[in-house]
Structure 1
Amino acid sequence: MSVAMNDGARAAFLDVDGTYADHGTVPTAHAEAVRDARRAGHKVLLCTGRPESMLPAPILEAGFDGVVAAAGAWVRLDGEVLTDLRFPDDLATRVRHVLDAHDIAYLLETPDALYGPVGVDARLERRGEAAPPEILDVLQMPGDLAAVRYAKISYFDSPVPIAALRAELGPEVGILPSSYADTGDNAGEIHLAGVHKAVGMATVAEHLGISVAQVVGIGDGYNDVEMLAYAGTAVAVEGAPSAVLAEADFVIPGPAGDGIAKAFARLGMVGPA
């Protein structure tokens, strides 16, 4: 059932890493801007490639109307789950077998937890820096991953370049460079073909009964291209890849420059909608 919004209200979708937060730290101005925009009658949602299980509690609990997670495969709005897409069983098994055959480290992402092969925690540690707690705190390594129904995969330590892995896995999936860390061609994110952030955003817009013109998208990574292309108002963060900047109506500073607060002010979202 759709939830009516007035004609002046907007729904803003915020990427997390490098847009709303910087390495998990949220500027005070960003938290205040979200609070003020919601108080004015706008909807504000996180829109991330991460599964919801990997979002730090302080960010989730800061106050949002919902989450588009797993790059569009999971949508929660006002406490209701609207979308929960997982890899079909046959495809899920085939993808895991290809990754195992190449000895690629990977994390199977679900809304409730991350799952990985036994020893993937040690491989995370061997990357030269401590594995982030948002991964380790929700990581499970049950040994047998056959029963895990996942929405997306993050992988690293791949001897196979992204283009070659994409060709081997076939058209049922898409692969993007990792949005979590700058790890070059040996890390990436595998998602169902045709599932991306804009798919989740469209689900929210339909549920709210709003037009695309009322949708704001703000992001900085490769997995934000479709988000910005879909949004009525597209906002990119300085330093984003050229494909992201090409979709933007305007550009804002990153978290250190309070970019979200500046975008909301420019769009008139911090006053009555």
Structure 2
Amino acid sequence: MPTFQGSTIQKAIETGLKQLGLPRDAVSVEVVRENKNGFLGLMRKPAIVNLKPLEPPIDADPTPSDDPPAKPRAGKKLATALTDGAGKKIASAFNDITTKKRDNQTALAMVQSYLEDITTGMGIDTQVTSERQGNTVTFQLKTDEEGLLIGKHGKIINAIQYLAQTEFNHYAKSKWTIMLDVGDYRERRQATVTRLAERTAREVLATGKAVYLDPMPSFERKTIHTTLVDNTYVETHSEGVDPRRYVVVTPKRP
């Protein structure tokens, strides 16, 4: 069976139809693999499909002088069937999938699998474990290449965490927070953010001008707000839209 590739399933099908010189309703399609965009443009995988030309209809008693009405092609028969009983069954099955009850354990399993796939795609040998405390689930990523997984100022680990939270929200019933940690990075980072908040407050007090911090995830912004909430001389608020939302530290109004 001929196999064709494309950046998406649709493009793979179009490539195959062009090479075979056949219309869409003259072939059956088997999806071998869906396309994968990878993480940060890495490890992209094209979609792969098999296209099998359908058998042409055979006339029972063809006569040159009095041709019978043309029989519908197999593809048209398939299309008709899909719009009748078979189509209703497929639609019903699809509805069952899309209306399936959300489940927290399934969502956590999907996040676990997602993290294993994404670290494998990055070429980083990683062991993934998880622990839940209240409404927060922390996935611990154990690896000998911590720096590559964390990234500068935590940009890589924060990006993966954002995607993992999105994956969890897609399947979960509850609104739990997904956290990723590598070694003791989160503990060290929280101490760094706390010092940043205190240093920024001194700068605002000295200059009398507002300071706009770099964008950071919500839990780090919360650390800034919490650290300075009782400060007599400055106040904080957030601006922008995630993932580019940031904290502004300003002199406290009289």
What TM-score range do you get, normalising by the shorter chain? under 0.3
More relative contact order, 1 or 2 (CA 8 Å, 6+ apart): 1
Q: 1 or 2, which has the higher helix percentage? A: 2
TM (norm. structure 2) is: 0.24
TM (norm. structure 1) is: 0.23
The structure with the larger Rg is 2
